[in-house]
Chain A
Amino acid sequence: MADTATAEPTAADDGRVKTWLALGFIFTLAWLPAGAWDALIMAALALWFVIGWKRIGLWMIWRRSLIAWPFALAALTLAIARPGAPVFQFTIGGQAITATDAGMVAAATVMAKSWLSVQAMLTLIATTHFSELLTALAALRLPPVLILILGMAYRYLFILQEEALRMLRARDSRSASIPGQPAGRNLFWRATITGRMVGTLFIRAYERSERIYAAMLARGYDGRPVTATQPPLRPTDYFALIGGGIVCVSLIVIAYI
């Protein structure tokens, strides 16, 4: 996602290393038990150090991470679902609901883990070109056909978006009114038009995919995804992996001792 990146990836950063480190960090977070605040705080500090080091902008990462909050809020149900000592009670529709201490700790832990995980992925995306991510996924033995689908989806998503915007522009250009006549008919009619536009966009996308497939065939595509040879990791990459691994293991040790 070079388009949205705020930090330019450097030659020293191998996309595979960054992807493995980000995934390792997220798996480590998942492994931490409920209430492991020391480990969670250290994980946050480690991540924010990297964000600062790479000059990505902590505020930007935090702002973008808000997208995960609606999902994290689902964790709030843990506060009332997990058994434990009652902390407070409230009533919904005549039904008394009790939040427990263990439930609140579990909910807060899940929310903290979700927030940090999203920040780790945003950091990865902000410093890694999409093609590098695909290379990293290939190195992780993701099926080549899935990588091909991801790559093409990324490439053509923007084309489809532009096509949709052009259709909307055409609709707006003919959304006119004349004096003394109410314009725009009614909501149902406008919704119908929008539905037809979506259908038209789908047909165009389908036909475009047929043309692209024909162009791929013309250039020798025979159903087997083609992936570029991956260069070997350099010593600095191994150092980064070892350093990241030590941090992850340390977090788990701190959480369980």
Chain B
Amino acid sequence: MLTITNLSYAYPDGTPALRGIDLVVAAGEKVALLGVNGAGKSTLLLHLNGTLRPASGAIVVDGLPVTAQNLRQIRARVGLVFQDPDDQLFSPTVFDDVAFGPLYMGLAPAEVDQRVQQALQAVGMTGYEQRPPHRLSLGQRKRVALATVLAMQPSLLALDEPSAGLDPRARRELSELLRTLPQTMLVSTHDLALVADVFPRSIVLAEGRVVADEATSSLLADHDRLWQYGLI
């Protein structure tokens, strides 16, 4: 489903952000991406749909390489949800925002309506179609942000710290939602409870490198390494 080969990237000022990332995620896998702030998690996610272009290396999603020529098709396959829902939501109403992707893809209005309803139902936000996103709570905006990509029916979900700032109930609901979604997932998070709940596999990044890639259960059981990686 997702193959990353020797991916490297440096910020415009020359600071290395990713250094030789190699990664394979199988279809249907749910993988947590862990690491301290600045480890390169968000930068890696931004590469998956071509928002950032690698200095070297390659990314292939569903057999399609992420290149300038394939960007539109890649973005139909990779649903990227930013950490701050205000970065994701740019329309005056929830409906407009969730409908944007399907409309852009040229789908018929009836199918767009159907996808919007399905996506809002999946995230438990049915009935909020005409609400302005900026009037919703953070948890609600996060759900709508997720719905905006679910409506595009991507095969890979790339979520950047989806539980950041959520209260315990919203976090619990998010955890249940992520467990039920069928898509392949690569999710950046600091939330070890969420990781334990949802993701059987965890990858740890440190200074732009993969320093651990293993079963979540074994990683979470190793207190010393969690401490060493700055995860606790």
Contact = CB atoms under 8 A, between A and B. Distances in A.
Nearest to A190: B104
B80 A173 contact: yes
Contact of B76 (A167, A176, A184, A204): A176
Interface residues of B, number: 30
A166 B107 CA distance: 25
Given A184-B104, A189-B103, A176 B75 contact: yes
A175 B103 contact: no
B101 A176 contact: yes
B104 A170 contact: no
A12 to B, nearest CB: 30
Residues of A contacting B: mostly? helix
Given A171-B100, A185-B106, A177 B76 contact: yes
Interface stretch (B3-11, B86-94, B115-123, B210-218): B86-94
B87 A183 contact: no
B90 A179 contact: no
A176 B105 contact: yes
A197 interface: yes
Contacts of B91: 193, 196-197, 200
B107 A181 contact: yes
Interface in A197-241: 197, 199-200, 203-204, 207
A181 B51 contact: no
B72 A183 contact: yes
A170 to B, nearest CB: 5
Counting chain A residues whose Cβ lies within 8 A of the other chain, the interface size class is 20 to 34
B107 A176 contact: no
B148 interface: yes
Contact of B90 (A183, A184, A197): A197
Given A182-B106, A196-B91, A196-B96, A173 B75 contact: yes
Which of A167, A174, A204 has most B Cβ within 10 Å?
A: A174
A199 B92 contact: yes
Contacts of A246: none
A203 B86 CA distance: 12
B126 interface: no
B186 to A, nearest CB: 15
Contacts of A187: none
A163 B107 CA distance: 29
Contacts of A183: 72, 104-106
B72 A177 contact: yes
B73 A177 contact: yes
A172 interface: yes
B87 A174 contact: no
Contacts of B134: 200, 203-204, 207
Interface of B: 49, 51, 72-76, 80, 82, 84, 86-92, 96, 100-101, 103-107, 132, 134, 148-149, 152
Interface of A: 163, 166-167, 169-179, 181-185, 189, 193, 196-197, 199-200, 203-204, 207
7 contacts: A173-B80, A176-B152, A177-B75, A177-B106, A197-B91, A200-B90, A200-B134
For the complex of A and B, the 5 pairs showing the least CB-CB separation, nearest first, are: A176-B76, A177-B72, A176-B75, A174-B101, A166-B87
Given A174-B152, A177-B106, A199-B92, 6 more contacts: A167-B87, A169-B82, A170-B87, A183-B104, A185-B104, A200-B91
